[in-house]
Amino acid sequence: MTFDPRHPLPGERPLVVGAARSGIAAARLLARHGLDVRVCDRRAAEALSEPARALAAIATCEWGREDVGLLEDRDFVIWSPGIAITHPLAVEAARRGLPVLSELELGFLAASAPLVCITGTNGKSTTTDLTAALLRAAGREAEACGNIGRPICEVAESVSASGLLVAEVSSFQLETVDRLQPFVATWLNLTSDHLDRHGDVAAYAATKARLFARQSAEDWAVRNADDREVMAHVSGAGTPLLFSRERAVDEGAFLDGEDLMLAWRGGRERLLARHELRLLGAHNVSNVLAALATVLPLELPIAAMRDVLRTYGGLEHRLESAGQVQGVRFVNDSKATNTDSLTVALKSFPQKVVLIAGGRDKGQDFAPLHALVQQHVRQLVLIGEGADAMQRAWSDVPAVRAPTLAEAVRAAFEAARRGRSRDEEAVVLLSPGCASFDMFTDYEDRGRRFKEEVARLLSVVTHGTHGTQATQGGEA
């Protein structure tokens, strides 16, 4: 097998840096094409996953190493998005003139199908998943991939030229792209995040804008008309489409009162009323409008889109119901890894909640959330490295510390039971507002562990009270 001549690789001897999901997928793809693949990871073999260790059958594996000696006799580098490009290995590769590519770019080079790429600070996963669902419901071949959890290299060669690869794209992935040209590129929003990696908002925005830089007039650039930062930073030749909750747009999707509207080729059409959406919250109205604007150039049947929007309930770990125990509802919002997502979560509940928050602080300022937390939180249960900063920022909100997630779930349950009235449902919300890496593998691991602890609590309470009514499931 060889790559498309229009998208040649810069050599035949790649170094894949990092053996997590994206690195594994990249190494497998390259090996299938007969390349001399070398893979490295700073972790020892015993700390790696079984799929990573299995790469030894198709590649030269260097475990426990990340030194510049790994670049010897290499033509190019595939770089893990989880490692900063200021790492000495990336710096030395650049000094030697070796191309440094992201796994996203490699997937683009290998793919036959056009790419639909969705980026933004918040809402990427929901919008990506919904976009793919809209396409599939209309009979189009579509795979959701990228930062949503399934590496693009895993599916790039399995989707035909008539299908579409719908990729969630992070700023980390965009640091190392040079040829990526999405058929549709969508930018949802931009707020302060990942400043520990990018330094400031301007640099963060410039990285996001790289998604649009190589588009042509035959491609589509979808932007959030309600976000000044997004509107100010997009450049490129892509044909513009807009989405907005606040005003009508000439071409794209918008909210008109309570109606979701499509604007396309000079005409307007009502799709459905906002209350018909299964997704809850104003933020999800924006996500829906973004997905609609993204698929607009593909001219999907209106009836198919309506059916999807009336039934689509969202993603795991995003305001997901984790069960109910003795009138206390547990909600898993582990994907809330920054203050904006935490803000959205708190505004989604009419009653005060018991909030489990904390984790690895990414240089965020928690002080601006003080009034919101004071208004929406009955009790804080703080975990992880960010607990000190949160407690300082929200010092007048009752708070307890928990050294483990299991203890946090128990403490939150007791606080919720104490504080609720007889006819009111109490809510325990896991919405950390921080990254997960201080205690967990990733936000998915954190969310699964939370659901496991809720299930364990449910079992204990049920067996301990001989008939306590407790349920699991449902949508938050």
Backbone conformation region of residue 439, classed left if phi is above 0, alpha if psi is from -120 to 50, else beta: alpha
Asked if 217 and 113 sit in the same domain, the reply is yes
Asked if 162 and 248 sit in the same domain, the reply is yes
- Given 71, 98, 125, the domain boundary residue is 98
Sign (positive or negative) of CA dihedral 236, 207, 159, 265:
negative
**DSSP code at position 435:** B
Q: What is the extent of the structural domain holding 67?
A: 14-98
Mean pLDDT on 355-360: 97
Look at residue 5 and tell me if it is in a domain: no
Look at residue 295 and tell me if it is in a domain: yes
More confident residue, 149 or 117: 117
| Residue pair 143/132 in contact by the 8 Å Cβ criterion | yes
Look at residue 378 and tell me if it is in a domain: yes
CATH number of the structural domain spanning residue 162: 3.40.1190.10
Q: pTM here? A: 0.77
* Strand pairing report for 267-273 and 320-325: unpaired
pLDDT of res. 196: 59
Asked if 200 and 253 sit in the same domain, the reply is yes
b (16+ CB within 10 A) / e for 112-131:
ebbbbbbbbbbbbbbbbbbb
Asked if 85 and 135 sit in the same domain, the reply is no
Look at residue 391 and tell me if it is in a domain: yes
- Given 284, 311, 338, the domain boundary residue is 311
Asked if 93 and 108 sit in the same domain, the reply is no
Asked if 73 and 136 sit in the same domain, the reply is no
Distances (CA, A) of 414 to 111, 426, 447: 52, 11, 20
- Asked whether residue 198 carries a pLDDT value surpassing 60, the answer given is no
Asked if 180 and 37 sit in the same domain, the reply is no
Look at residue 453 and tell me if it is in a domain: yes
Asked if 149 and 293 sit in the same domain, the reply is yes
Return d(Cα 233, Cα 206) in angstroms, integer.
7
C-alpha closest to that of 459 among 470, 449, 451: 470
C-alpha closest to that of 329 among 428, 410, 406, 422: 428
Mean pLDDT on 257-266: 96
Other Cβ atoms less than 10 A from the Cβ of 3: the count is 15
Got the DSSP string for 75-137?
SEEEEPTTS-TTSHHHHHHHHTT--EEEHHHHHHHH-SSPEEEEE-SSSHHHHHHHHHHHHHH
- Given 285, 311, 337, the domain boundary residue is 311
pLDDT of res. 282: 82
Asked if 203 and 149 sit in the same domain, the reply is yes
For residue 417, give both structure tokens. 């039971």
CATH number of the structural domain spanning residue 26: 3.40.50.720
- Asked whether residue 440 carries a pLDDT value surpassing 80, the answer given is yes
Distances (CA, A) of 342 to 44, 286, 361, 375, 404: 35, 17, 13, 14, 20
CATH number of the structural domain spanning residue 414: 3.90.190.20
Asked if 355 and 249 sit in the same domain, the reply is no
Alpha carbon 213 to chain centroid distance?
A: 22
> Could you tell me the pLDDT band of residue 194, with boundaries at 50, 70 and 90?
low
Locate tokens 């000044």: which residue? Answer: 228
Cα dihedral angle (123, 425, 468, 406), rounded to 10 degrees? 50
Counted domains in the chain: 3
| 30-88 tens-digit pLDDT | 999 999 999 999 999 999 999 999 999 999 999 999 999 999 999 999 999 888 899 99
Look at residue 8 and tell me if it is in a domain: no
| 203-235 tens-digit pLDDT | 889 999 999 999 999 999 999 999 999 999 877
Look at residue 2 and tell me if it is in a domain: no
Asked if 145 and 29 sit in the same domain, the reply is no
Look at residue 417 and tell me if it is in a domain: yes
> Could you tell me the pLDDT band of residue 236, with boundaries at 50, 70 and 90?
confident
Beta bridge partners of 61: 39
Return d(Cα 449, Cα 265) in angstroms, integer.
48
Asked if 68 and 145 sit in the same domain, the reply is no
